[in-house]
């Protein structure tokens, strides 16, 4: 036996335990990895027969999940023979989403095998009953041993396999504890080989750390074909599904779901969800259009300015980058002459969504100005534009898509950066603004 120590973050190996990884600087990330070296083998390679690139089929069939939001994220559906890693925080809806996938896929394929290592079959059956899933093509098995799982898949020949979850599966061939780096890596490699060999799509559920990153070795992300992440606040209904990696499609798409009593329900009208409950004639509220992948939707940016009770004013942002907020406040003070030195400024993106789109800069500034002056903005006005340090408004991407979404939601007045594009949408007044100093005149006109 030989003992090595492996970093769970980056896979760095060391002959002895160290407190801090020399590669990724992570603390207390080394796990013991025991390797049996008593049996030495001589390997004689066998030459493989190469195939012509032109003769090799480049496209495999995709299995539609019946959920347009998820199919968009996956690039059109689940590819046969692919290994998909589904991850998210505890309670975010991973098991609920996989059961929904099982119901839809079972209608197309011969059967779906759900392998549960954390919950009993009775617990999964109770969840399926609550979600009103009544498919007879879903088979459940509670198993932790990798060899037994592989044998079950070989015998039952399912059309799709769910592994819940990879961190609790272990192999008797690896003499280390369940959840260790070597166990997770070996189990994932074995499932990947089976998926490619039998053309069976396998969805593996993975845990996340307290920082929100995928738990386990980094090689876990490299082995799988697709990494799908479910985001959202645990105690809010909205869930956002996005791809961090996709060998067979784009990683820019996003799917929106809402947690209901019967499970996750697709959100077709995202803009309507984010604008629900908006206060009429309320100060400190501005609407903008953001882009997630190729999909536009409208969101409400809220601001609150209040006289500080401390010597140093507070700046707080929820759903928006804090450093970007500091920059925008400095630009407002410099180029508009508004005195925010003694003002606490709070920014919130309604609906629990997080945005990094620079096109929201103008809406953030307008919301701050509206709250500071205690004057509400027109309810049918949309604000788009990235703001530079000189106070200028810079062009943004996907302008036409944003404008079309605004028109669909009934907005009549839109402020955008000056552009050379020919933009004309019937029934909408488009105002092109060159710099931040035109904000207040543009708002009052």
Q: What is the CATH number of the domain that holds 102?
A: 3.40.50.300
Which value, in Å, is the radius of gyration of the alpha carbons in the chain?
Answer: 26
| pLDDT over 90 at 14, yes or no | no
pTM above 0.95, yes or no: no
* Same domain (yes/no): 299, 438: yes
The stretch 279-305 carries a mean pLDDT of: 91
Does 47 map to a domain? no
* Same domain (yes/no): 300, 154: no
* Same domain (yes/no): 29, 138: no
Q: Name the helix (H) or strand (E) containing 344.
A: strand 343-349
Among 268, 296, 317, identify where a domain stops: 268
Separation between Cα atoms, residue 371 and residue 80, nearest integer Å: 53
Characterize 370-409 residue by residue with b for buried, 16 or more Cβ atoms within 10 angstroms of its Cβ, and e for exposed: bbbeeeebebebbbbbbbeeebbbeebebbeebbebbbeb
Separation between Cα atoms, residue 151 and residue 301, nearest integer Å: 53
* Same domain (yes/no): 297, 320: yes
* Same domain (yes/no): 118, 252: yes
Give the C-alpha distances (Å, rounded to integers) separating 39 from 13, 34, 219, 348: 22, 14, 26, 61
Separation between Cα atoms, residue 146 and residue 195, nearest integer Å: 14
pLDDT tens digits along 28-42: 888 777 666 555 455
* Same domain (yes/no): 257, 307: no
Does 42 map to a domain? no
CATH number at residue 308: 3.30.230.10
Nearest CA to 162 out of 189, 202, 192 is that of 202
Separation between Cα atoms, residue 214 and residue 208, nearest integer Å: 4
Domain range for 195: 62-268
Residue 358 gets which letter from DSSP? G
Does 46 map to a domain? no
Q: What is the pLDDT of residue 269?
A: 87
Separation between Cα atoms, residue 6 and residue 349, nearest integer Å: 41
The number of distinct structural domains making up the chain is: 3
Q: Name the helix (H) or strand (E) containing 72.
A: helix 68-74
The stretch 324-351 carries a mean pLDDT of: 93
* Same domain (yes/no): 235, 101: yes
The stretch 374-395 carries a mean pLDDT of: 93
pLDDT tens digits along 217-227: 567 888 899 99
* Same domain (yes/no): 278, 416: yes
- Longest Cα separation, the chain: 83
Decide if 201 contacts 188 (C-beta within 8 A): no
* Same domain (yes/no): 300, 344: yes
What is the Cα 321 distance to its own chain's centre?
17
Q: What is the pLDDT of residue 270?
A: 86
Among 239, 268, 297, identify where a domain stops: 268
Q: Which residues pair with 63 in a beta bridge?
A: 78
* Same domain (yes/no): 115, 20: no
* DSSP-derived 3-state class of residue 81: coil
Does 50 map to a domain? no
Q: Which residues contact 369 (CB under 8 A, 6 or more apart)?
A: 332, 336, 338, 439, 440, 443
| pLDDT over 90 at 148, yes or no | yes
């Amino acid at each position: 036996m030989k003992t090595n120590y492996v970093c769970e973050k980056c896979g760095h190996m060391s002959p002895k335990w160290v407190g801090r990884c020399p590669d990724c600087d992570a603390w207390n990330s080394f796990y013991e990895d025991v390797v049996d070296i008593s049996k030495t083998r001589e390997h004689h390679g066998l030459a493989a027969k190469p195939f012509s690139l032109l003769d090799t089929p480049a496209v495999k069939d995709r299995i539609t999940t019946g959920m347009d939001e998820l199919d968009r994220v996956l690039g059109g559906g689940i590819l046969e023979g692919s290994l998909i890693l589904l991850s998210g925080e505890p309670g975010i809806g991973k098991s609920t989403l996989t059961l929904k996938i099982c119901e839809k896929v079972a209608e197309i394929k011969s059967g779906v095998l759900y392998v549960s290592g954390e919950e009993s079959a009775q617990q999964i059956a109770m969840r399926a009953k609550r979600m009103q899933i009544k498919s007879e093509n879903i088979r459940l098995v509670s198993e932790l041993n990798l060899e037994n799982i592989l044998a079950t898949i070989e015998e039952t020949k399912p059309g799709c396999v769910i592994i819940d979850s990879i961190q609790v599966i272990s192999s008797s061939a690896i003499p280390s504890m369940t959840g260790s780096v070597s166990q997770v890596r070996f189990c994932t490699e074995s499932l990947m080989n089976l998926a490619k060999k039998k053309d069976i799509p396998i969805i593996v559920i993975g845990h996340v750390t307290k920082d929100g990153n995928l738990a386990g070795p980094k090689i876990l992300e490299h082995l799988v074909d697709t990494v799908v992440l479910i985001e959202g606040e645990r105690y809010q209904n909205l869930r956002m599904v996005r791809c961090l990696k996709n060998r067979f499609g784009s990683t820019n798409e996003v799917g929106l779901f809402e947690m209901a009593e019967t499970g996750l329900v697709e959100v077709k009208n995202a803009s309507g969800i984010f604008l629900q409950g908006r206060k009429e004639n309320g100060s400190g509220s501005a609407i903008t259009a953001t882009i997630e992948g190729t999909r536009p939707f409208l969101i409400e940016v809220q601001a609150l300015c209040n006289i500080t009770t401390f010597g140093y004013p507070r700046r707080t942002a929820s759903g928006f980058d804090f450093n970007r907020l500091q920059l925008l406040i400095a630009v407002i003070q410099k180029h508009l002459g508004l005195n925010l030195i003694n003002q606490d400024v709070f920014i919130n993106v309604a609906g629990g969504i997080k945005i990094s789109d620079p096109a929201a800069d103008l809406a953030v500034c307008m919301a701050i100005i509206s709250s500071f002056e205690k004057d509400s903005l027109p309810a049918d006005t949309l604000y788009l534009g990235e703001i530079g340090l000189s106070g200028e408004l810079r062009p943004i991407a996907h302008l036409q898509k944003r404008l079309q979404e605004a028109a669909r939601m009934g907005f009549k007045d839109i402020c955008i950066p000056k552009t050379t594009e020919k933009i004309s949408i019937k029934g909408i007044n488009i105002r092109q603004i060159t710099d931040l100093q035109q904000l207040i005149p543009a708002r009052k006109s």
